[in-house]
Structure 1
Amino acid sequence: MRTARLRTVHPVLWAGWAALAAGAVLCVLGWYGVSGELYAERQLPYLASCTVPGAALIVAGAVLLTHGRSALAAARVEELYGLLVAAEPAGSEESGTAADAPLAVSGDLLMVPGGTLWHRADCPLVAGKPESIPVDAKLLAGGGLGPCPICEPVEETD
């Protein structure tokens, strides 16, 4: 599913590349013309007619490419947001009960090696990960781990 904005970005990118190429050609022509002239007064027409406009085209091409790429990124973010909004569960709009229900309810605490958070066993961040290990009381008391903001586990006191 491509949006209309994604299709309009490509001409901006093509125009940027064309301006860069035309600017490079003009700069080369200006340099070639200047290099063949001995006197400065004969070099000025090449500078005025080729090199300066060529440099301006290079700058304009760089601006167009930057704008085109940022517009392309913005269009992709909008498209992904549209997909995310379209994928919302149907029951969340009715009474708000699905939003109020906890995401995870398991009492077992797990962590991923090298991680900084502890999770409930059915938290979507660790569920199904074979490398997750149980959290013991020493790790919790050490303060090196914090609670997951998604499943909001409660620290067990044994």
Structure 2
Amino acid sequence: MRTPRARPAHPVLWAGWAALAAGAVLCVIGWYGISGERFAERQLPYLASCTIPGAALIVAAAVLLAHGRDALAAARVEELYALLVTDGPGDGEQAATGPVAVSPELLAVPGGTLYHRADCPLAAGKAGAVPVDERMRAQLGPCPVCEPDT
């Protein structure tokens, strides 16, 4: 069984959070500067230097965070694909395409709709698994994982 390992945060996510923080700080500074000025012509420098760039940074942060989450999801899908198709992440070798289970004994799990080979990962070690007779075999379907009919 593989142990879960810590995933490093994607750099685009860090950039998005940094841009969001910087944009929020600039908007607060702009608001504070504007609130202390009575005349509109004295408020314009705060708009130009703080509030508008702060709002632009917040929009950029939203784009970066959305892109970073997509990239993180794609990396997770690739990791899952590597676990399912290959022997492990990063080894590049195809897994053997042999049978998952080879036992001639058939088992059924109580409440299940399939019958399995005894060493099938879906039935092995399950409490209450019972041997399958011909009557049960007619009522249940074959497991697609261990393929007991082949």
The letter of the residue matching 1:59 is: V
Q: TM-score, normalised by structure 2?
A: 0.62
1:149 aligns with 2:147: no
Aligned with residue 123 of structure 1, among 120, 124, 128? 120
- What is the match of residue 3 of structure 2? none
Q: Where does 1:33-112 land on structure 2 (aligned, <5 Å)?
A: 33-79=33-79, 81=82, 83=88, 85-86=92-93, 88-89=95-96, 92=97, 98=98, 103-111=101-109
Q: Which ranges in structure 2 are unaligned for 5 or more consecutive residues? A: 1-6
- Stretches of structure 1 that go unaligned for 5 or more consecutive residues are 1-5, 93-97
Percent identity of the aligned residues? 66
Q: What TM-score results when the alignment is normalised by the length of structure 1?
A: 0.60
Distance 1:131 1:56 in 2: 62
CA–CA distance in structure 2, aligned partners of residues 117 and 41 of structure 1: 78
Task: Identify if the C-alpha distance between structure 1 residues 146 and 40 changes in structure 2 by more than 3 Å, giving closer, same or farther.
Answer: farther
Residue 78 of structure 1 aligns to a residue whose secondary structure is helix
Whichever structure has more helix as a proportion of its residues is 1
147 and 14 in structure 1: CA distance in 2 versus 1, 3 angstrom threshold: same
Q: Is the 8 A contact 1:106 1:122 kept in 2?
A: no
Q: CA RMSD in A?
A: 3.6
Query: Number of residue pairs matched?
Result: 135
Query: What amino acid sits opposite 2:127 in the alignment?
Result: P
Task: Confirm whether residue 15 of structure 1 aligns to residue 15 of structure 2.
Answer: yes
Kept in 2: contact 1:25–1:54 (CA 8 A): yes
CA contact (8 A) 2:118 2:124 kept: yes
